[in-house]
Structure formats: C-alpha cells, structure tokens
Copies of this chain bind each other. A is one copy, B any other.
Amino acid sequence: MRIALAQFNTSVGDIRGNTEKIKKLSAEAYDLGADIVVFPEMSVCGYPPEDLLLKKHFLENNRLAVEHIAKNCPDIVVVAGFAELNENGCFNSLAVLQNGEISKIYRKSILPNYGVFDERRYFRPGTETVRIMIKGMAVAFTICEDVWRLKWLDSFFSEIPRIDVIINISASPFHVGKIKQRQEILSQCAKHFQCAVAYCNLIGGQDELVFDGRSMFVDSSGKVVCQAHAFAEDMLLADLTSVENKKPRLKAVAAASKPDKSLPDDHISEVYNALVLGVRDYVRKSNFSKVIIGLSGGIDSSLTAAIAVSALGAKNVVGVTMPSQFNSPDTIKDAQVLADNLDIEFYALPIKVVLEQFNKLLTEMADWDKNTVAYENLQARIRGSILMSLSNRYGYLVLTTSNKSETAVGYATLYGDTAGGFAVLKDVLKTMIYQLAEYVNELHHREVIPVSVIKRPPTAELRKNQKDTDSLPEYDILDKILCGYVEQDKSASELIRDGLPEDRVNQIIGMVDRNEYKRRQSPPGIKITPKAFGKDRRMPITNLYTSENF
C-alpha cells in the first residue's frame, strides 16, 4: 500500500480554494501510484477557523465541499479534515472518501483547550475508533492531540484487533524545538502499538500562528523513515508492505521524497524560516502585495526589512526613514546603506518641522514640557502617522519592528512604533534578534545588515544621547527575567532564587504587568516560542496582582 502525505498551505475560510487544491493534489498522488492520500487537520476549511465555526452556513458549506471532493476523487482513498456539524453537535472530524462518497468519519477525541487552542469552545469530543482495510493493511485514524496522550490512546485502541498503520492528521503550530517533541511522541506511539505512523501536518501562516509541516513516516521500530519539507508544501510517499511473520515494512519512495528535506537542526535558521513564511502568508492572504517599514538604522527594523525581502522580494518592500534632530548621522546613513544592500525602494521624510508645529500647538497647554516622555512619544506617533498615511494612500501594509523584550516591558509608543498591520518580531527576544541578524549576513554571504548596526548599543533616539540601558537592564539579564516570568509563569521569588538580581526582577515584572494595555492594542505577530503574547497569554488588563506572598 502506497501512502501519500500531502501537506499544503490552506487558507482559513477559503473552502473553495482549499477544495480545489485537495482535488489537484489527490490527482497528483494518484499519478504517483498512491492508494491513499492524506491531508492535514481541517484542511477543507483551514485552521483555526475560530468563531467562523459558530456560523451554521459555514459548517454547511464545509460539508458540501467534502461531498464534492468525494465525488471528484473516486480513484483514490482521500483522507481530509473538516468541521462537522451533525445531530449531536460540532466535531473536529476526518472524512475517509472512497468510491465517490464519504465512507467513514473519525471524530477527534482529545480537544486541546490551552495555549492558543480553544477547541472546547467549538467541538464535542468523539468517542469511537475508525479502522479501514486497504490492500490487506489495517489503517487506524487519529487527529493531532489524540496521539499526544499515549496512555489514553492505548485504552481507546484496546478493542481494535490489529493496526498496521496509524494515520494522524494535524495542525500543529510551530515553536522553537517543537519538532523534536513531535518526533519523540510519534516514535513512542509507533513503538507502543508496534505499527507504522503516517503523520500529515499543515503548513502556512495564519494570523499569529505558523504551521511548519514536516510531515513524516515512522516505522514500527520508532525510526523516522522520511520527513517532508519544513515551511513549504510537499508530498511525501512511502510504501507499506507485508512481510510474512513480521511487522509490515515501511519504505520511503525515493522519487518523491528528495534527500535531506528537513532544515538543519538549527534554531536560528528554523526561526528565520518561520518568520519569512509568517510574513508572506499574512501579507498575501490579506490581499496585500507590498509592505512598508520605518527604517531607523537600528537592528530591529533592519532585520524586519531583511525578512520582508526574503518573504516578498525586494520590489515589494518599501523603506522610509523619518529622522528628527535626535537621530545621529550614523543611524540615518545606516538606514540608507541597509536599503541599498537589500535593493529596496527608500524614502527619507524628516519629521523636524512637523514636530515643531505639534510642539507649538501643545505649548498652549499649561505645563507642556519638551523634556518629557510625552515629547519623546510624539516623535514616534508622527512617524506612525506618516507610515499609515502612506499605507492608506498607496495600499502598503505597514510592518512593525518591536521585538518581544520591548513588547514585554512596554518599551514602545502606542500608536507610534506599534502602528501597523503585522509585528514580525513580536515573539523574538532581543538576544535572538542579534543571532538572526548575523544569520541574515551568513545567508547572503555578505554584509546585508551593516556591522555598525549590529555593534551599536541599542537606542530609541527620542532624546539626546538616549540608550536603552538608561531605563532597562542589559538585554541578557532582561531576556532571562522575561523568559522566566512570561514563558514559565515564575514568581519574583523564584526568579531571585534562580540568581537574577532582585531590583531588576521587581522592576521588570512591574513593567510587564502595567503594559498589558499596550500589548492588547498591538498588531498580531508570529509565535515562535512556547508562550507568545496574544491569544497564547490571556492576561487581564485590570490586574492588581503582585506576586509577593499573601
């Protein structure tokens, strides 16, 4: 039996587009000799459809699409995920399409409702196993989380007499290092049931999430036999053949599965590719073609521009520098050099005169003072207004450039540097920003991001001689505190016990908590860590909790 895993880039809500793609890929799999072709979780409607699932007409259309696929792919067994409304409620389901009709439906049992997942909001859990026979092979079905609970799965499958291969369809979002976890889980599963596992994962960006693909076949010894591309569409084939008195043999089909498809096991390149795909899909699926970025000559905006060029091509990226009297000639020059290196359109719109007029108007208020944070923020808001004006006039999507460290402590001006449609680096800590910048230069085999940008001490340049370290600790300390507090939910006393400086711990925790209101109004950005800001971390804005002991 030949199995094809067709990981493809779905679009949420594009039932017609996804359906056409499934038909086309099914025909391709058939041409490659596959007996069965497997598509990711909810690939008919895209994942996650969120509250579209509360619309009855959405669920009806989605069902009609499944029936349409069945009718149009009679020669091959098609396995595809969809949202199913039936008399018992709504389910996260998998349809087995054979001979022009829906032959079986498996309903996901383990519904994740943590982190970015809200599946209990929409779905009821399935309770029944589904097994089919193809060419004498026993195929059992699971959906995503079902295989992550091995003990439960063991009891769930206890009634099934024999399983040769477990098919799992997934929409498993990327975060750094998750692939190792997946390989381990699938390997354990294969060994436990002494059978092959065929795992088909989604690829593509959807708002804050990036799905990384890397579908794989695992044999009954737990070995990953072959793995599909990361962050790209791919079709992976393997043959499962019976061997007398032994477990069936699983063999990759060389023709379709090119060697060394997975990325090198390097977190930085992995993150870079996730960011590139996330940007490309957000921009394209939102029907934009060009993006605009405010280039300060600093490392965050330089990296954002490099990622945008990788995602969309240089001709679709526009850079604007908007210096005030506080920007040094060095940073202004670096912005220009970066734009030249990336070969992107570049404009300079100095804000000094607008800033003066604004200041003159505000001087009518008593106690208005140029030497305060209000005046600093005004500069950022003028820049935000310029970028949005260009967006409105020319149809560019504005990419923002704040990193996770700044986003965490509120070191950003609301409606200023946070103004824009997509926050590319929102989940990337500053210490990783440096690694990514070095990676960009390695990737291009030349100095795309000027070394002077990488070496300069971070500064917002909103007043004379300003440095980030005027109000923040060094970034290596800051990022350790943030990792512990935000990603691991540790208390102040735990962080201090971990050896972090008490004064900084208390300062930073206070800043993180007080700035939830800014994050609530910031644009979506790509999740790359186990816990990102956004729907992954749902904190109240009105929050009087301090982690001191009661």
Contact = CB atoms under 8 A, between A and B. Distances in A.
Interface of A: 11-17, 19, 46, 48-52, 54-58, 60-62, 64-65, 68, 113-114, 118, 120-121, 205-207, 281-282, 285-286, 347, 349-351, 353-354, 357-358, 360-362, 364-365, 367-369, 372-375, 377-378, 381-382, 384-386, 388-390, 392-394, 414-415, 419, 421, 489, 491, 493-494, 517, 520-524, 535, 537-547, 549-550
30 contacts: A12-B542, A12-B543, A12-B545, A13-B540, A19-B550, A51-B538, A51-B539, A52-B539, A55-B491, A56-B491, A57-B494, A60-B550, A61-B550, A64-B550, A113-B118, A118-B121, A207-B541, A207-B542, A285-B544, A349-B361, A350-B361, A354-B354, A362-B386, A365-B390, A374-B390, A377-B392, A381-B384, A520-B523, A520-B524, A524-B541
Contacts of A56: 489, 491
A15 B420 CA distance: 37
Contacts of A537: 51
A546 B384 CA distance: 32
Contacts of A378: 385, 389
Given A540-B207, A542-B286, A543-B12, A361 B351 contact: yes
Contact of A114 (B61, B121, B369): B121
B392 A374 contact: yes
Q: By CB atoms of chain B within 10 A, which of A113, A517, A538, A544 has the most?
A: A544
Contacts of A367: 393-394
B419 A415 contact: yes
A533 to B, nearest CB: 11
B55 A547 contact: yes
A415 B390 contact: no
Nearest to A517: B421
A535 B535 CA distance: 10
